[in-house]
Structures are given as structure tokens and as C-alpha cells.
Amino acid sequence: MIEISLLVQNPVDMPLVRIVDLQKRFGAVHVLKGVSLDVRAGQKVALIGPSGSGKTTLLRCINYLERPSGGHISVAGELIGEKQMGDRYVEMKDREIAAIRARIGMVFQRFNLFPHLTALENITIGPMKVLRRSSAEARAVATELLRKVGLEHKKDSYPDNLSGGQQQRIAIARALAMQPRLMLFDEATSALDPELVGEVLNVMRQLAADGMTMIIVTHEMRFAEEVADRVLFMDDGRVVEEGTPNDIFHHPTQERTRFFLRAVVNKQEYAS
């Protein structure tokens, strides 16, 4: 068992996110095989790699949508999903997990908007029900977020009347309405038509410029190079290589990384 001293430090000094030896199994399938990662406040970390490498599972473990099979995760100095009782760890109650998860925003491949609610209502429902904000306060915040993502004029529209890019921007605004300390993006543009990708990436660029802490699973290599402070290449449930965008995209040291980049970017000369 890993000592708790690795996980709980002075909050001023510790990373916002600390992952230590994370394991995840689905039956006999070993999906995450000892992933460790520190993310400091304000950092933007991009996770790249082939499908099935464990990237999405890693994100889902961070906010406990998936229960890890081993290892530990802490967010803002608090273990998530478990707590220490003497010399052992016990699982948190659902309400304790929910309280921590409320400060972690996640944007999925699919937009997951409530079809019977307007754009504005989709954004206000979380703050009102979870954070106990008044309707007026929630609406004011939602209106400002709609302006931030360029969709204030769509506040009364239902999801069926919005394009995929607009729906994803609403989903980002909905996550931001919960005032998260951390944003997780799981292939936020993969379900969009190519001409709509840019409008979502522009919102993510602005969040990065504003200093939001972000962990981003993406196949948009040029976006990752532009926005990320660090890039992790994952394969077969492990972090194969990590470094700055310049390190990974222009000077990768692992043949597996070079092979992946050649396959993904085709004629784009990220790696020789």
C-alpha cells in the first residue's frame, strides 16, 4: 500500500491533481497499468495515444465515474473515492464523492444535454440543484457563460435546434457553471463535423488563456501542441512518454510515439 504521505501535503505546495500508481481492470482486461501523474493549478495537460490506450478511462477515474482497481487519486488535497481510517482506506459515501466531483467539470464526446430544457436551463440546473444557487443567480451566471461561448442569442433554444458545435459549447458552459477547479475534456470535438471543430477548440483555447486547469484527451495534435504545457503519450494502459509539446511532437524518444505521430498526422511533420 502506498503511504498517504505521498498524497497529502501542504496544499500550497501540492499539485491540484495527484495520481499515484492508478490501476483499472474490467474483469480480465487490465486497462490502466500503474499510471502516475501530477497536475499543478493552471496547467494544461494533453493525453494522446491510440484508441484503447486508457485515456478516457483515466479521465473517468479522476472524477470517479469509474472506480479504480488500485492506486490513489487526490484533487485539491482530498482523496477522491476513498479516505484513510487509521492504517487502511475505506470507500467514501456517494454524497462525499459527489461533493468533490462537483468541483470537477467534464465535457464528453457526446453532449449529453437535456433535450427538454433550453440552453439556459441546461446551464442553470446544476448550480440550482447541487450548489443551491437561487434562480436569479444561476441565470445571471448562465447568461454570462453563454456570452463567453458566443451563444447568448441561443439561450432559449432547445438542443435539437442547435448544431453539434453549439451543443458542445453549451456543454462546456454547463460544466463551467459549477465553478470547477479542474476541467476534463474527453475528445470534445470527435463527434463534430469537421467544419464545427474550430468553434469548440476556440472556446477551449480561451479557457486555457484564462488559466483554467485542464486535462484534455484529444486527437487534435496541432491544438495539443498549441495549448498544452505537457503532453503524455499513452499506449496499452501506460504512459510511454511525456514532455513538453516540443519534446513530444518534434523530438520523441520512443519509437512507439514516433510511429503513432506518423500515423496520425500523415504529412504533417511532427516527427521524423
Q: What digits encode the pLDDT tens for the residues 41-50?
A: 999 999 999 9
Which parts of 140-229 are beta strand (E)?
A: 182-186, 213-217
Q: How far apart are CA 77 and CA 57, in angstroms?
A: 22
Entry pTM: 0.90
H-state helical runs in 13-81: 55-62
Mean pLDDT within 202-222: 95
Q: What digits encode the pLDDT tens for the residues 127-148?
A: 999 999 999 999 999 999 999 9
Mean pLDDT within 52-62: 96
Nearest to 140 by CA among 157, 152, 154, 158: 152
Q: Where does the pLDDT of residue 83 fall: very low under 50, low under 70, confident under 90, or very high at 90 and above?
A: confident
Model pLDDT, residue 268:
47
Q: Is the pLDDT of residue 267 over 80?
A: no
CA dihedral 267, 219, 21, 9 (to 10 degrees): 110
Model pLDDT, residue 191:
84
* pLDDT higher at 245 or 192: 245
CA dihedral 208, 212, 214, 218 (to 10 degrees): -30
Model pLDDT, residue 12:
53
Model pLDDT, residue 203:
94
